[in-house]
Every structure is written in structure tokens, then in C-alpha cells.
Chain A
Amino acid sequence: MSTGTNATDAARVEEAARRVVEQHPPGSVSQQEFLGACFEAGLSWVHFPAGLGGLGVSRGLQATADEILQAAGGPVPFYVNPIGYGMAAPTVREHARDPGLAREWLRPIATGEHIWCQLFSEPGAGSDLAGLATSAVRDGDEWLVNGQKVWTSLAHRSRWALLLARTDPDQPKHKGLTYFVLDMQAPGVETRPLRQMTGQAEFNEVYLNDARIPDAHRLGDVGAGWRVAMTTLMNERSAIGGGSSVRGSGTIADAVALWARYPDRRTPVLRDRLAALWTTAEAHRLTGERARRSATAGSPGPEGSIAKLVSAELNQRVYEFCMDLLGPEGTLYGSYALRDNGREADFRGPVQQRFLRSRANTIEGGTSEVLRNILGERVLGLPGDLRADANRPWREVPRG
């Protein structure tokens, strides 16, 4: 497969993007109309097939489309519907068994009409996701789901959820999982906010009590859930780590802005620390650029894990720098009271709140430890660690 992009395809994408911008100027139509026009023009995910929001061209050309659409003032779809756009869409596209249903799901994802969330992690299954306990039992044309999910962002606003559940506890853990799309409005689905150390509650706990899912909403085969989940997770990591393509933007901009604001607090030691952070941010940005330029039509590979690992650890060091620059002022904290019903996004809060929020960066979307395992095993080809649960039926594996 050739890397890079083909000139004719690039011209097609450019032309389609210009036409959308011309016929649906982002300033004068609704966000939903604009994003709907993008979907119909195949610009939502350019590498998807025609009719499903794509043009069947190389993934690398998404940047070409986005540049034109966003320069005209178009919204960033990933910000509108992060899990839907970044993770649910590629999973649905690859694993939905009914193309009609795929289109039915994909269009409202692209337009932001239907927000999606991801019901993966559980109190007893974090890094060891494949050990999860939520069960799905077949009942005629339906599945009956019971269990508890946690760390679910956007559950309270979501129309649909990606759900990973255990359908066969007698198989070893990876083999007994099945992947579903769950209607968040179905009876038996209960969402409660989960308060975190910042005081806010971006995440939720979701309780599933005899929630029903039609079998048509199963993605992939029964027992093949882990393979389907890989699509979601690889896309999650590349989306989280993807970051901006503008030099100096992202979290490093916060540190540089504070540096500029407090000239009297500057020291040579802090200056070198910030220069080192800035340089790492730039190396990270350029690595993302390089990956995008050589992207092919396929799904993102494990190298997306590099970006996720780096951005998480970099964010923490950036906000640690900010706190050190602030000194005693950094020890103040506006308020721990729940705002916006507890759902104010931490990353829009004051620096101190962003600092606390950054602790989650190396945990969410794959801990840094898991990501280093992935880089070691899937990119470098190193042998796996010894596993105490290998080849044992899930039912017999100690949990706690």
C-alpha cells in the first residue's frame, strides 16, 4: 500500500470542501446543517465509503478537508461529539452488520445530533478491561444486560453508548465478550454523576439493570467483542493524542501565557524548564504531523499510543510548571462547589483546576503503564508479560 496521498483524490476533497463552505456558509446556517452537508459531501470521515460520510480516499486527506472547513469557521466535529465522532463512528463503520443501521447511526454522530458515550471501564476492570463483569444474556431476539460501568464521560447527554459486556463467563476473558450499541434512553439504564478530585463531575457511573438490547444492535460476532473494542481503543488513543497542528497551541499555550503575564516571577531555571516543555510539545506536534502525512486509508495503528502517552505526561508537567510559576497564588482554588450541575468541563476552568484535572490524563484512555506495554509489545514486538489468568475460564479468575 502506498503512503502519502494521491493528487486527484486531494483535488476531489478540496473541491468538495469548497462547495460545502460555499453552499452552506458556517456563519449563516446552523451547526447541524453545516455538519450534515459535510456528511453528505463525504467530508466527515474522508476515508469512509461514499454514503457513510466518506469518499473512500486516504485518511491523510482529512486534514485537507478540515483545513478548508475550519478556516471558513466550521466547527471541529471532534469537539462537538468526541466519543461519537472519534471512536463510535470508526467502530460502527467497521463492525456494524447492517449498512442501513450504520448510516442511521453515523449521520447524527457527524452532525452532533446524537452524542455517544462509551461503557467500557468498571469498578473491577480498569487496565484489565477484558476482565469486565457486566453480563449480557440472550433472550430471544434481545439481550438482557446487568452490571455497573464507571468513568463514563458524557453519559448524561448521550443518546447511544458503545457497550462491552460478557456473554460467556466460561471462556477465557478475551473470548467471552460481545460488543453492543445501547440505547441510553432504554429502561434499566441509570446514570449518576461521579465527583472527581477537581470538585466537578465530568464522568458518570452507569447502572444497568435488566436493560434490553435488540440483537440487531450487536457489533461483530458473539464472542468477538474484544476485536471490535480494539478498533474503538486505537481510535480513542489517536484522537486523544492527536492534538493540534498549530505550533505553540494546546496546553503549552497556558504555560507560555502565564510566563508572559508574570515577568516578575521569571527565573533562569523556570525559563529552561519551560523551554524544555515547549520543545517537547513541538516534537509531539511534529510527530503527529508526520503520522498524518503518511497516514493511509486504514485504521490508526498502535503508534497512536505514542501521542496519547506523550500528551498525557506533557500535560501534567505543563501544569506542574504553571503551579510552580504561580507560587502561593497557586494554592488558592476558586471553589469546589459543583457548577453547571457538576458538569463544567475542567479544562475550561482556572489553572489550578486544570492542574488537578491533568492527574487523570495518565489514567483515562489507557494508563501510561498500559500504553508502554502496547508500545513495547505491538510496536517493538517484545514478548508479553506472564499472565496469571491466561487460558483460564473468566469465572475462575480471582477478582478484587
Chain B
Amino acid sequence: MADTFVFSPEQQDLRRAVRQFCAEFSDEATVRRLMESPAGYDPKTWSRLGAELGVLGLAVPTEYGGADGGLVDQAVVVEEFGAALLCGPVFGTVALAIPALVALSGDEAKADLLPALVEGARTAALAAPERAGRFDPAAVTVAATPAGESWTLTGRVAQVVDATAADLLLVAATGPDGAALFAVEGTAQGVLREPLSTLDLTRQQAALRLEKVPARLLAGAGEAERVIGHAFDVGAVLLAAEQVGGAQHLLDLSVEYAKGRLQFGRPIGSFQAVKHRLADMLVAVEHARSTAYHAAWALQDGTDDPALAASIAQATCSQAYYRVAADTVQVHGGIGFTWEHRAHLYYKRAVTDAALLGSAEAHRERIAALVLDTAVPQPGTPPVAAG
């Protein structure tokens, strides 16, 4: 078991390598070019991340093409992606589809589907309804019909992140026995993907329409809930890591600006109104980092309730990233509101990340259910004065 909060030299090397790669291939100019391109990302860059750097399936067992590391390794990578606002299906493929496939009990689908995702040769998205960070089988809007040995899916899903260009769609659909999980080829007959215009241009979404699409059953009614729930917990942790990366980047940006921007003949960072805002941003980032790392280690090593750890991380990181992004715009003043400044790109990512996989409020609700609703009164502690 790894020592919680202490990154190994290998993990530090990994972080440096990904940071360097992003500096070269996901600089601001590249992000701006890709976010307005139809695909929304550069498949060549994505495949280099998979095939050359090998950083898309770090927690995947080697027999499926992965590195057999742990969630902490993957979180380190996703944090750096978040700092660079990397364009690519990080959320759909790395945070959700790969963890869902890894959680399947059978080997065959894993062996068929995982290696190409891990290599970056193919991408994937997960279409499963989520409420407050949990899978909600009652909200499934796709029907599954048995067709001999196979199945067909029919229905609509209003918003699926990273579905626009996905080669593989993992779809929750309701069959005769309840909600199950299926695999659909993105190019299959009957799949209609309508790209949506999104607030965050660096993270694509599509509306999905399925009309009698041939599908492969991955997890039956009994298993799907566990598999998708696992993917949501892992996804929440990786999303938290992304939020930490973005928030730290913005803090650094704001501090540099506050040191260099002069008004009234002195750097604005010397004014306490600005300095104290930056100090609060620092506290928010440090808290976010602690909860995200704790959750990554907890899920990897089984040292804490995964649902609670994931919710603590999401409740903290969603709030922190949004707060830091909003304050970044404020610290930058007029320039921070312009299209040419990158603050809005991160601000929009922060808004989107906060809404994905459950809002901070939703995760607080889950924390309340786990911690407060079960609290047992202790007579006399603390005492209350009676007057």
C-alpha cells in the first residue's frame, strides 16, 4: 500500500513528463485552435498520449494494455491535463469509459475494447443518467430489445460528454430485467449524434439518438449498477484532480498578474483587498488538493469509503475551482473579461466541471446522508447552558 499523500519519484517523473508534453502540444494557441475545430481535439496528440506516453490507462491491468499502476498515477496525469486545459475526451474516455470497462466481471469485452482506448487509437463516451453523482436506473431513456444472440437499442440521451467523436459508446439501457450496460459502435447504423453548442468550448457534448442500433451487452441488470457506480466514483475523483490542476494554474496566473500590474503607482498585489482574495484562493486550492489526493489514494488502496471520499473531493473541488476561476477574472479586472485572455476558458471549464457528476450541493447531500443522518447523540456532550 502506498504512503498516502507522498508521491513516489516515478510519480513525480510522470507529472513532469505530462507537463512538458502539454506545454508543447496543448499550449494556449493550440487549445484555441482545437476548441473551434469540428472534432474538438487532435487525434494525433491523443494517440501519442496513449501510444507514446502511455498515460491514458495507467490503472488498467497489463493484460488489457494498461500500466497496472493505480488511480493515483492516473490522477497525476489528469491534474496536468486540467492545468493545460487539454482538448480531448479525457472525461468520456479516461474518467468514465475506461473505469467502467475495467469494472466488468467478464474478460472478453475488456480484452476486445480496452486496449484500443488505452492506446489512444479509439475514444469512448458513457451515456448513463446520473443524479447527484450516482447512477439513476429510473432515469434511463434508452430501451434495449433482445434480437437473437444480440440486442438493439432505441432512445435518446439529451447530453453526452465527448460523444461527438467517440468511436465507442457505452450506453445504459433498460431491458426486460432492468437497466443494463451496452456497447455501441459510434459509426453503427442508426446512431445519430448531434453536436451541441456548449458553454465550455474545450469539452464537447452531443445529443444522442439511437434507432434500433445493434449493441453488445456488457453488464446485465444485476451488474450494471455496480459497474456504472464504480465509474462515477472513479470519474468523480479524476474530475477532482482536473479541478485541482485548473485551479492551481489560475492561482499562479493571478499571482503573477497581481505582482506585475501597477495601479496607483504600485503592484495591485500589495493592496490587502487583492492580497487577501489571493490568500483565500490559496486556501481553496490547498483544500481541494488535499481532498482530491485523499480520494485518489482511498479508492486505490481501499482505505476509506469510496462514495464518501469521492463526495468530499467533489464537494470541495467543484466549489474551489469555480471560486478560484471567478476570482481570477476579478483580479485581472478588465482584461480578464476579454475573449483574448485565457481566464474565460478556465472559468467555463470550472462551471462545467462543477455541474458534471453532481454539483457541490449534491455531494453535500450525499455527505449528509452518510455522516449526519447516522450521527448518534452523546448524552451531555457538549453541555448546553439552561439559564
A interface list, Cβ under 8 A from B:
3-4, 248, 254, 256-261, 271-272, 274-276, 278-280, 282-284, 286-287, 289-290, 293-294, 303, 306, 309-310, 326, 329, 332-334, 349-354, 369, 371-373, 375-377, 379-386
What is the CB-to-nearest-CB distance from A176 to chain B, in angstroms, rounded to a whole number?
A: 25
Q: Does B111 contact A (CB under 8 A)?
A: no
**When chains A and B are docked, how far (Å) is the Cα of A289 from the Cα of B303?**
14
Cβ contacts under 8 Å, B272 to chain A: 369, 372-373, 385
What is the CB-to-nearest-CB distance from A319 to chain B, in angstroms, rounded to a whole number?
A: 10
Tell me whether B269 and A383 are in contact (CB under 8 A): yes
Tell me whether B255 and A278 are in contact (CB under 8 A): no
Cβ contacts under 8 Å, A279 to chain B: 312, 315-316, 364, 367
Q: Which of A258, A309, A333 contacts B283 (CB 8 A)?
A: A309
Q: Which of B282, B371, B381 contacts A278 (CB 8 A)?
A: B371
27 A-B pairs whose Cβ atoms sit less than 8 Å apart in the complex: A257-B378, A257-B382, A259-B372, A272-B364, A275-B315, A275-B368, A278-B367, A279-B312, A282-B291, A283-B290, A284-B287, A287-B289, A289-B4, A290-B5, A290-B294, A332-B387, A351-B385, A369-B272, A369-B276, A371-B279, A376-B269, A376-B276, A379-B282, A380-B269, A382-B255, A382-B269, A385-B270
Q: Contacts A257-B378, A287-B287 given: A352-B384 contact, CB under 8 Å?
A: yes
Most buried by A among B271, B293, B378, B384: B384
Q: Contacts A275-B365, A293-B6 given: A329-B279 contact, CB under 8 Å?
A: no
What is the CB-to-nearest-CB distance from B362 to chain A, in angstroms, rounded to a whole number?
A: 11
B interface list, Cβ under 8 A from A:
3-6, 251, 255, 258-259, 266-267, 269-272, 275-276, 278-280, 282-283, 286-291, 293-294, 312, 315-316, 361, 364-365, 367-368, 371-372, 375-378, 381-387
Q: Contacts A283-B290, A310-B283 given: A382-B258 contact, CB under 8 Å?
A: yes
Closest to A284 in B: B287
**When chains A and B are docked, how far (Å) is the Cα of A284 from the Cα of B291?**
9
Q: Contacts A275-B365, A283-B291 given: A377-B275 contact, CB under 8 Å?
A: yes
Most buried by B among A248, A329, A372: A372
Tell me whether B375 and A260 are in contact (CB under 8 A): yes
**When chains A and B are docked, how far (Å) is the Cα of A257 from the Cα of B286?**
28
Closest to B304 in A: A247
The 8 closest A-B pairs by CB, nearest first: A332-B387, A376-B275, A334-B385, A350-B385, A283-B287, A375-B279, A382-B269, A286-B290
Q: Which of A258, A274, A375 contacts B382 (CB 8 A)?
A: A258
Q: Contacts A280-B287, A372-B276 given: A381-B368 contact, CB under 8 Å?
A: no
Cβ contacts under 8 Å, B4 to chain A: 289, 293
Q: Contacts A283-B290, A382-B259 given: A3-B6 contact, CB under 8 Å?
A: yes
Tell me whether A353 and B6 are in contact (CB under 8 A): no
Tell me whether B375 and A386 are in contact (CB under 8 A): no
**When chains A and B are docked, how far (Å) is the Cα of A363 from the Cα of B291?**
28
**When chains A and B are docked, how far (Å) is the Cα of A333 from the Cα of B386?**
7
Tell me whether B278 and A376 are in contact (CB under 8 A): yes
Tell me whether A380 and B255 are in contact (CB under 8 A): yes
Tell me whether A286 and B269 are in contact (CB under 8 A): no
Q: Contacts A283-B290, A382-B255 given: A351-B6 contact, CB under 8 Å?
A: no
Cβ contacts under 8 Å, B386 to chain A: 329, 332, 334
Tell me whether A306 and B385 are in contact (CB under 8 A): no
**When chains A and B are docked, how far (Å) is the Cα of A260 from the Cα of B291?**
26
Cβ contacts under 8 Å, B387 to chain A: 332-334
What is the CB-to-nearest-CB distance from A164 to chain B, in angstroms, rounded to a whole number?
A: 25
Tell me whether B3 and A350 are in contact (CB under 8 A): no
Tell me whether B6 and A333 are in contact (CB under 8 A): no
Tell me whether B368 and A274 are in contact (CB under 8 A): yes
**When chains A and B are docked, how far (Å) is the Cα of A352 from the Cα of B384?**
7
Cβ contacts under 8 Å, A3 to chain B: 6
Cβ contacts under 8 Å, B286 to chain A: 287, 303, 306
Tell me whether A287 and B368 are in contact (CB under 8 A): no
**When chains A and B are docked, how far (Å) is the Cα of A261 from the Cα of B386?**
15
What is the CB-to-nearest-CB distance from B260 to chain A, in angstroms, rounded to a whole number?
A: 10
Cβ contacts under 8 Å, B259 to chain A: 381-383
Since A257-B377, A260-B377, A373-B272 are in contact, a sample of 5 more A-B pairs with Cβ atoms closer than 8 Å, ordered by chain A residue number, is A279-B364, A310-B287, A350-B384, A351-B383, A351-B385
Cβ contacts under 8 Å, B378 to chain A: 257, 260-261
Q: Which of A248, A371, A382 contacts B270 (CB 8 A)?
A: A382
What is the CB-to-nearest-CB distance from B161 to chain A, in angstroms, rounded to a whole number?
A: 25
What is the CB-to-nearest-CB distance from A373 to chain B, in angstroms, rounded to a whole number?
A: 6
Tell me whether A372 and B279 are in contact (CB under 8 A): yes
What is the CB-to-nearest-CB distance from A239 to chain B, in angstroms, rounded to a whole number?
A: 19
What is the CB-to-nearest-CB distance from A371 to chain B, in angstroms, rounded to a whole number?
A: 8
